[in-house]
Amino acid sequence: MDDPAPLTAAFIGAGYAAGFVLVVLSLRDPVWAHSRVPVLTIFAFVVLTLVATLMHVDRMHFDDDFGSLDLLARGAAWFWLAVYVVVPVAMAVLLVHQERMPGDDPPPRHPVPVALRLALAVESAVLLVVGALIYVRPTTAESVWPWQMPPFTARVVAAWLVAFGLATALAAVAGDLRRLRTAAIAYAVFGLLVLVAVARFPDILDRDRPAAWIFVAMAVGVVGTGAAGWRIAPAGAARPGRD
């Protein structure tokens, strides 16, 4: 089997690309109720990644063991740590401030179809369970994940799984297509980029293992439910309520 590092990097890159879409679309929407799920998704990821970083801080390029590395590598390590310390704190302050703002959320006007809710619930359960297993015990990845990953990287991958699992659960519970739209777009982007990564590095997946086929099926399902939510959700922003 080929070195799994490129596929791992591509998977994490898909998560960051989808996260970028979440942030950009949330900033463009003036209604907080439409951005709550995307913001909570990013918040969950950055908190879990901060914890993973602190658990594996010995793998960062800080100490004398990495003294032979150039300034760029060590600077990148400090930049990573700074981002994942500052961003969770800033987002927590933003969330508390926004939830205390006067006014109510706009009433839901576009119910999520039952079939889409059920699909999101199933995907959420898979993402949360697999993500939690890998995050708590990275060696679990050997049995539930279709390729091998070192512990630190496994926890970062798991952080994305848990974050998107939370997003799908909240989208299903919210029950309003307008509030689902931003998350649905990012969700579809995430699944599509994961499939592109698999197509680029097909020899890394062990096709004899059920985990590989479940992984591909989940990625296809993520694209399908994300695209469905994107397509049927109204694009206009309702102005009344907490902006």
Segment 93-114, tens digit of pLDDT: 988 988 888 877 777 778 888 8
- The answer as to whether 240 is a domain residue is no
Contact predicate 212/206, CB 8 Å:
yes
Q: For residue 21, what are its two tokens?
A: 């879409």
Q: How many residues does the chain have?
A: 243
Contact predicate 160/49, CB 8 Å:
no
When pLDDT is averaged across residues 86-90 and rounded to a whole number, the result is 91
Cα Rg of the chain, angstroms:
19
Global pTM value = 0.86
- Given a cut of 50, whether residue 134 has pLDDT beyond it is yes
- Given a cut of 60, whether residue 65 has pLDDT beyond it is no
Q: d(Cα 27, Cα 21) in Å, to the nearest integer?
A: 10
More confident residue, 141 or 242: 141
- The answer as to whether 239 is a domain residue is no
pLDDT tier for residue 56 given thresholds of 50, 70 and 90: confident
Contact predicate 194/219, CB 8 Å:
yes
- The answer as to whether 237 is a domain residue is no
Check residue 241 and give its pLDDT.
Answer: 44
pLDDT tens per residue, range 5-26: 999 999 999 999 999 999 898 8
Q: What are phi and psi of 129, to 5 degrees?
A: -65, -50
- The answer as to whether 70 is a domain residue is yes
What is the domain count for the chain? 1
Q: d(Cα 3, Cα 218) in Å, to the nearest integer?
A: 23
More confident residue, 90 or 109: 90
Q: d(Cα 220, Cα 222) in Å, to the nearest integer?
A: 5
Domain that holds residue 115: 5-232
The residues, any chain, with a CB within 8 Å of residue 216's CB and separated by 6 or more, are: 195, 198, 205
The residues, any chain, with a CB within 8 Å of residue 97's CB and separated by 6 or more, are: none
Q: Percent of the chain beyond pLDDT 70?
A: 90
- The answer as to whether 241 is a domain residue is no
When pLDDT is averaged across residues 14-42 and rounded to a whole number, the result is 88
- The answer as to whether 80 is a domain residue is yes
pLDDT tier for residue 207 given thresholds of 50, 70 and 90: confident
HSE (CB half, 13 Å, CA atoms) of 37?
26
- Given a cut of 60, whether residue 66 has pLDDT beyond it is no
